[in-house]
Structure 1
Amino acid sequence: MKSIIMPHLARIISSDALLNFKRAVSELKRFSSGQPHVLDVFLHINDPYSYLLLQVLPDLEKRYQVTLRLRAILRTNDDMFPEQEMLSDYAFKDARILAQLYELSFPSEPPLKDINKTILYTNQLIIAESSSNVLRNFNAIFDNYWHSRDTHFNYDNTSDDTVHNNLARNETRLKKLGHYMAGMIHYAGEWYWGIDRLEHLERRANKLGLSTLAKPSIYYNRTHVNACNTFPLATTNATVHPSPLTLFFSIRSPYSHLGLERAVRLAKYYDIALIVKPVLPMVMRGLAVPDAKKMYIFHDTKREANKYGINYGFVADPLGAGVERCYALFDYAESEGKGVEYLLAYARAVNAQGIRSETDKGLKKIVTSCGLDWNTAKSLLAGDSWRLWAEQNLKDMYNLGLWGVPSFQHKNTAVWGQDRIFVIENQIIKDMS
């Protein structure tokens, strides 16, 4: 019964109608209480995305009628971040890409890891929260930390107990509001991560009439605004044979669904081959995905899908049997030259059409929709040879310094997340020039 109800419940929860209703209620409460439009900003001193976000907050404050409340945090839930060492190394490199894209300050090398230094600078941030120019002081402290300067903020008469209590207050608030990560903005029930999600906040603020500009604009959309907007050189130069695009993909990952849709568009636009390497979902590899993380990903995928014109929300989770049946038929689909088409049909079915792939009825719809033979497919469902290549695909991904899906590779360029497809596109253009 649960498997029947959940897709319909997911469609309701992710609907634009419900979102607009929640926003209207939030705005009514705010207006009735006479409160300003408050952005709660949660920052961690050694989080590179927090550093970049902090640098653009003066611009947001200038362009919108909002009140910023900066909140430093220190402790995070380790269960939310598998492969923390790999994540830390990758995040620094990834943040450098964003810093270059938006012309922000960022060091060439990460600060040395030192827990005592982290605590010291976090304490400085906590004290700065009550200073006369919070934003300026936060930026100064972050600059000092990230560029290894040892100028310290004046402690004044603030006691250690006060610092400790205020830090605990911030971390409690982050958890109470339903999140687990730094570099986050919370506004009226919704979360916006780093620079990557600021455009969603900009659109919301513009719709509320909060822009101070005569012509409200969207500024933080550089990662995708020019996607597939460069003339495909392959159509004019027959001698160019660009390297293929490889996608590491999980049929259960909502972001993989977006990544596959966008990768198909990119490959078609530049006339290059797309190779998809499926891997097992994290949960089926023994890695935990806590509820708070699942809900954030669900809602974030919905708004990202809307941005790209991709259907999402009528979700029939394929975890378990649905994943295994999907992968059991992938070799068959590949042998028919329909591997990508099959995965695309499967991803749309379980993410946007509410089709329960663990049932024969649902799976038959998926198989036949991409021109495969159901009787042949049904005879192959018991096979498990796919586990060998799924494990090898995972190893290949780890060898690139990546651990999560979707991940993309083109020649020597490898990135994690559908947000970074622009990096791959830039490499493709360079390769074809």
Structure 2
Amino acid sequence: MSTALWTGDAGFFAKRPAPSGDGAGARAAGSQRVADLNHYSGAMFYYAGEWYWGVDRLFYLEARLQELAAQKDGVADYLVPRPEIDVRDVDAGALTLDFYPSLNSPYTSIIYDKTIAVKNACNIGFNHKPVLPMIMRGVAATNAKGNYIFFDTKREGEFLGVPFGPVHTPIGDPTRAAYALLPWAYEQGKDEALMSSLLRAAWSENMPLHTKSGMRQAVERAGLDWCEAQNQFKRDDWKQLIAEHQHEMVEGMGLWGVPSYRLSGPDGETDLMVWGQDRLWLVAAEIRRRAGKPKGKSVNKAKSTSKSTSKGTSKSGKKG
């Protein structure tokens, strides 16, 4: 049924009678079950207190089951491993990567530096295009969704070897203040360093960016002068830049979440446009393919996680 639905096979359904029973009641019961388990969406897997967001997270479930020796005889490896983020020995100078991060994004925080590392490793043209957090764009989030995202980010961070927590979210004024600095930082070639420092401060160091001391520490370790930075906070040219980035991402690419990526080039290739920190491996694999390099490997290093009930600037044109 799922295959027919997603492949547009109308004949499959035309040949079959409508099912009997209370479909609406079954859906309501399923929705209530999800709510009772403190989750917010369908197409998820749940096992023994832990949620798995689709195929991308099944290797965590496999890790748990392997610890229980539950796999069948002869099955020693992962069935759905996470591919490696690999651009070694790749020259992607003919390609361009647009990167849309957000300061108030847990997922951005664990993949930002790895994205910059990919850019630096393969000589790709790179456009750094921060956007406002979804909640500052009017996209509401339920408590269940927020809880799952924090849980899932922690789990993903452990897999990637990136710290996550303790957290001091920079929503609102800290984000606006930070983004006001981005055009100035870009002029000095330090917009990426600043964003990296700010993300680390907010999402793994519990640094309050709404305070002068917190913001100062993040700014100075990015190699920027604090005295000069204080003259930049009243700038408003960042608003138009951020608005342009958001329009590109939402209206032009049809994506709303962060981080998002667009890979373009060479001539004749359709742009690859994807959302999610768990798609950087796909971006890297596509960079390899378009650069004429062999496919990378998969990595199997998931560990059983804690049993939780939940889951600037204008185009820089810089090359790594």
> Residue 165 and residue 260 in structure 1: after superposition, are their counterparts in 2 closer, same or farther (change >3 A)?
same
Q: Which residue of 2 aligns with 1:404?
A: 257
Q: Which of 277, 294, 300 pairs up with 1:418?
A: 277
Q: Which residue of 1 aligns with 2:302?
A: none
SS in 1 for 2:69: coil
SS in 2 for 1:256: helix
Q: Give the letter for the 1:342 counterpart.
A: L
Q: Give the letter for the 1:178 counterpart.
A: N
Q: CA deviation at 1:352?
A: 0.7
2:215 corresponds to 1:369: no
1:311-350 matches, within 5 Å, as 311-350=163-202
Task: Find the structure with the greater CA-based Rg.
Answer: 1
Question: Any conservation in 1 of the 2:83–2:281 contact (CA below 8 Å)?
Answer: no
Q: CA deviation at 1:402?
A: 1.7
Q: Which of 63, 72, 78 pairs up with 1:212?
A: 72
Question: Any conservation in 1 of the 2:93–2:123 contact (CA below 8 Å)?
Answer: no
Q: Which residue of 2 aligns with 1:233?
A: 90
1:244-393 matches, within 5 Å, as 244-393=96-245
Residues 48-67 of structure 1: per-residue CA shift (max 9 Å, x gap)? xxx4xxxxxxxxxxxxxxxx
SS in 2 for 1:278: coil
SS in 1 for 2:220: helix
Q: Give the letter for the 1:421 counterpart.
A: L
Q: CA deviation at 1:214?
A: 5.3
Distance 1:406 1:257 in 2: 9
How does the TM-score come out when normalised to structure 1? 0.61
Question: Any conservation in 2 of the 1:242–1:431 contact (CA below 8 Å)?
Answer: no
SS in 1 for 2:85: coil
Q: Which of 41, 44, 54 pairs up with 1:194?
A: 54
Q: Give the letter for the 2:258 counterpart.
A: V
Distance 1:420 1:174 in 2: 26
Q: CA deviation at 1:106?
A: 7.6
Question: Any conservation in 2 of the 1:259–1:417 contact (CA below 8 Å)?
Answer: no
Residues 290-331 of structure 1: per-residue CA shift (max 9 Å, x gap)? 111111111111111111111112111000111111101111
1:113-192 matches, within 5 Å, as 148-152=12-16, 160-161=21-22, 163-192=23-52
Alignment length, in residue pairs? 285
Distance 2:236 2:204 in 1: 27
SS in 1 for 2:41: coil
How does the TM-score come out when normalised to structure 2? 0.81
> Residue 231 and residue 379 in structure 1: after superposition, are their counterparts in 2 closer, same or farther (change >3 A)?
closer
Moved over 4 A (4+): none
Distance 2:59 2:215 in 1: 37
Structure 2: which 5+ runs fail to align? 265-270, 293-320
Distance 1:205 1:293 in 2: 26
SS in 1 for 2:132: coil
Question: Any conservation in 2 of the 1:247–1:260 contact (CA below 8 Å)?
Answer: no
> Residue 148 and residue 420 in structure 1: after superposition, are their counterparts in 2 closer, same or farther (change >3 A)?
farther
Instruction: Tell me which of the two structures has the higher relative contact order, counting C-alpha pairs closer than 8 angstroms and 6 or more residues apart.
Output: 2
Distance 2:166 2:73 in 1: 38
Q: Give the letter for the 1:227 counterpart.
A: I
Percent identity, please. Answer: 30
Distance 1:262 1:200 in 2: 21
Question: Any conservation in 2 of the 1:264–1:274 contact (CA below 8 Å)?
Answer: no
Q: Larger helix proportion, structure 1 or 2?
A: 1
> Residue 368 and residue 174 in structure 1: after superposition, are their counterparts in 2 closer, same or farther (change >3 A)?
same
Question: Any conservation in 1 of the 2:93–2:122 contact (CA below 8 Å)?
Answer: no
